[in-house]
Amino acid sequence: SSPQAQALGYYHDATKVDLVKWPRKGTEEGKTQLCSNCQLLLNRGKSVPGMSGEWGQCAIFPAGLVNVNGWCNSWVLKQGA
């Protein structure tokens, strides 16, 4: 919910992305994009109190954690994925 996360179109749940606002996610390539296969996800396997799912650190959001099933408009294909 940080202003930076909102500006980059980050969603905890990639299935909830507003495709009108963030058309990249609606493309054929976009359909497979998740934080879990993004190069910028540094460290997964974390949990967040009161939230379900698996979380990790993202290089562009150092202040918080992102959900592995999340997405943002800065997604970059993970090398080797």
Q: What is the DSSP string of 21-50?
A: T-GGGGSTTGGG--GGGBTTEEEEEE--TT
Q: Please tell me whether residue 66 binds ligand SF4 under the rule CB under 6 A.
A: yes
Q: Which of 22, 48, 60, 69 binds ligand SF4 (CB under 6 A)?
A: 60
In the complex, least distance from residue 34 CB atom to ligand SF4, rounded to whole angstroms: 7
Sheet holding 55-58, edge to edge: 41-46, 55-58, 61-67
48 binds ligand SF4 (CB under 6 A): no
| Residues in touch with ligand SF4 (CB under 6 A) | 10, 35, 38, 40-41, 58, 60, 66, 70-72, 74-75
